[in-house]
Amino acid sequence: MKTYRDHYFLKAKRERYPARSVYKLKEIDARFHIFRKGMRVLDLGAAPGSWSLGAAAKVGAEGFVLGLDIQDTETSFPDNVRFCREDVFARSPECELLLRETGPFHVVLSDMAPGTTGHRSTDQARSAALCEEALALALASLIKGGSFVVKIFMGPDVPAYAGLLRRHFSAVKSFKPLSSRSESMETFYIARGFKGIISGR
């Protein structure tokens, strides 16, 4: 096992995060300044809960984080986080109501990843489908000027997806955190300055 993998795994244990992925979000925020106190955040693919915990600490008690994931989690969350087991592709009426009641959101996060098969093109295609759904929900849920952070597996679909992000956001950057494993196909797109719904999108 590589040393840096041990470092982030052990650091997460020391700091009581359920997964090392929180450090990717921390690096993204340090670079792009996504969060402020009092913000409302939607976290897609939230289980086991590290990103929701990280976001909750940034937005403070006056902010709010709604985490959704098809998997459940045993993580204990602070009062400014609500976690719901939910299929983002087939949201229940209760989930849609919750989104309306707690939104619109200043930030939408998506750390969603497909169950990997080991077949690179299949995994990339599945990742792209998740990213498309995450973007559709972000466009429907963000306030004007809001931010969207999405994980995607690098592949032939990425340039077109980045172009779509640029249509809807004023600033779009790709970023691979140091805490991402070097062998991972993942990268993150950070889209800021949501322009609002564009007619005919």
Options 11, 151, 173, 195, the catalytic residue? 151
| Nearest in space to 131 (alpha carbons), one of 172, 78, 89 | 89
Q: What is the C-alpha to C-alpha distance for residues 120 and 165, in angstroms, rounded to an integer? A: 24
| Cβ burial 172-187 (10 Å sphere, 16+ → b, else e) | beeeebebbeeeebbb
Six token digits for residue 72: 């459940």
Q: What is the C-alpha to C-alpha distance for residues 185 and 123, in angstroms, rounded to an integer? A: 10
Q: Is 151 a catalytic residue?
A: yes
Give the dihedral of Cα atoms 129, 135, 136, 137; nearest 10 deg.
110
Six token digits for residue 195: 């322009």
Q: What is the C-alpha to C-alpha distance for residues 165 and 185, in angstroms, rounded to an integer? A: 20
Instruction: Give the active site residues.
Output: 151
